Chain A
Amino acid sequence: MIQIENLSKNYGSKTVLKQINFELEPGKVYGMVGENGAGKTTLFKCIAGLEDCSGSISSPYSILKNHLGFLPTNPYFLPKITGSEYLQLLCNARNIPLNNFAEKNIFDLPLAQYAETYSTGMKKKLALTGILLQKNDFFILDEPFNGVDIQSNMLITAIIERLKAAQKTILISSHIFSTLNDTCDQIFVLRGGEIVQRVEKPDFQQLDEEMRQFVLGDKIESFHF
């Protein structure tokens, strides 16, 4: 089990995450929803160890990040590196002895091409393939469905199901509520840097309604179309 306790993050005097507490169990999929700027990506980076923060993150592993596959919102690709070289780099980094990626190319990506020339969706799929090849136990997927075609969306959903069945822990953020509805066991609502709600599967539809109300309200009325 991964336990996050009193996690806080400040940028100077600005607090972006306030006393975040939650637990993640193996074999479960967790969703993180919130508006842009709510702190989802910062929270993910803090858990991954890419950002400094206060509080504690405990796990069964001595170094959590060595078992963590992190898919950033916009994966960064080095210039003039092909898709297969990117996968090779990720495998080398985790000492995974693999150098033929043709069989593992589940998204049919043009692996001989430079990764920087890929479309947004292809980049995301390549980055996801990379962290899957690393055989991680814990996955943080920041907007995995963003910019990805409908077929790949279905494939990603199926992959998440498989990961869950293999007792992996998955934390996802998405702005597409239906994808979370399909995949998650529990959803955390992050607002203003705080987790304001934890919702179990039976209450997802109600959460969707509440969020719609909260986001839309009468804001749209100020526009005269």
Chain B
Amino acid sequence: MYYYFVLQQRILSRKMEELGLHPVLGYILGVLIFLGLSFYLFYKTTYAGYIYVATGLSVVFGFGEKERNDFLKTTFPLSTYRRVRAAENGLLVLPFVVFLCFKTEFLLALGLLPAALTLSLFNSGTRLSLTIPTPFSRFPFEFTTGFRKYWLLYLLAYFVAWKAIEVTNFNLGVGSLAFICLLAMSHYALPENDYYVWMYNCTPRHFLLKKMATAWLYLSMLTLPLIVVLSIFFWDKSWILFLVLALGLFLIGAMILAKYSAYPQEMSLPQALFFGLSMWFPPLLLMVLPLFYKRAVQRLNTYLQ
């Protein structure tokens, strides 16, 4: 059991190294980001405690994934498996518990720990035989898989937009639109297996254009109904909605270029940070897009020529 956790630590360190980050710096940065976000959350909303508990539990939930647990069950005796899972979940929520105590939210802290330990007894993410229908089957795969993974979040975004109309809060509507754009961008965050690039019979430039055209088409399909409905209720501000869509289309294109500029690796941390910064100030992105494009073409040349 001890060796299992040593391995987990090694895996984490290696992932940081792959991101171009020294592990020690990574751990320090991780703690600082965690603290920064926690303070920000508690500063921003009075419901922070509940959001915090939900976040902690959602992290733990991911570790209950069936395949991973099947592997652990076949590797360890049942009693060791139970201890490993309990220790994992306990360690994962510990920072949340400590911060809740710091914020004198003792009741929530006391609830979170046993809830996390109880979750260690259950497996999540059992493979569904049910196929979720999607309007994106004609041009797989990013939106097809992304929609099936996050359809609940898409539904939530539409619900928030509906609420925005109900309470006549335009900003809420813009927020839901921006959220859909961000969610769509996340479908392009990870590099796919090289077979799925290699199989194309086109030049890297054509490949990138194909990917972008599909992303633009499908993002428009997801957002235009929302924009039309919001425009009916907030007619005078509809130009803002179209501006957000234009920005979303620009950013998803940039995301594709950024992804393939690092292909077959994941984007490095500096690259991801720069991309994150550019989202706050898009003109910054205009400067690096030619560089992303040039590097993406170079990387793709290995597989497509």
* A78-94 vs B, Cβ < 8 Å mask (1 yes, 0 no): 11111011101110111
Neighbouring B residues of A117 by C-beta, 8 Å? 127, 129
* B231-275 vs A, Cβ < 8 Å mask (1 yes, 0 no): 000000000000000000000000000000000000000000000
Contact, CB under 8 Å: A50 / B194: yes
Q: Which of B44-52, B108-116, B196-204 contacts A (4 or more CB under 8 A)?
A: B196-204
Q: Is B303 an interface position by the 8 A CB rule? A: yes
- Number of interface residues, chain A, beta carbon within 8 A: 32
Neighbouring A residues of B305 by C-beta, 8 Å? 63
- Residues 53 to 80 of chain A near chain B (Cβ within 8 Å): 63, 65-66, 70, 72, 75-76, 78-80
A99 to B149, CA, bound (A): 24
Q: Is A177 an interface position by the 8 A CB rule? A: no
A116 to B201, CA, bound (A): 25
* A21-58 vs B, Cβ < 8 Å mask (1 yes, 0 no): 00000000000000000000000000011101000000
**Least Cβ distance of A69 to chain B in Å?**
9
* B120-152 vs A, Cβ < 8 Å mask (1 yes, 0 no): 000000010101100001111100110011000
Contact, CB under 8 Å: A94 / B140: no
Tell me what chain B mostly uses at the interface: helix, strand, loop, or mixed.
loop
**Contact (A84, B137) CB under 8 Å given A79-B145, A113-B131, A117-B127:** yes
A49 to B179, CA, bound (A): 39
Neighbouring B residues of A84 by C-beta, 8 Å? 137
What 20 additional pairs, Cβ within 8 angstroms, besides A78-B140, A78-B145, A80-B132?
A49-B198, A50-B198, A52-B302, A65-B198, A78-B193, A78-B196, A80-B148, A81-B140, A81-B144, A84-B137, A86-B140, A88-B140, A89-B196, A92-B139, A92-B140, A93-B201, A94-B199, A94-B200, A94-B201, A114-B131
A: residues with CB less than 8 A from B are: 48-50, 52, 63, 65-66, 70, 72, 75-76, 78-82, 84-86, 88-90, 92-95, 99, 112-114, 116-117
B: residues with CB less than 8 A from A are: 127, 129, 131-132, 137-141, 144-145, 148-149, 192-196, 198-201, 302-303, 305
A-B contact pairs, 19 of them (CB 8 A): A49-B303, A50-B198, A63-B201, A65-B201, A70-B195, A78-B196, A79-B149, A80-B132, A80-B145, A80-B149, A81-B144, A81-B145, A85-B144, A89-B140, A89-B196, A90-B199, A92-B140, A116-B127, A117-B129
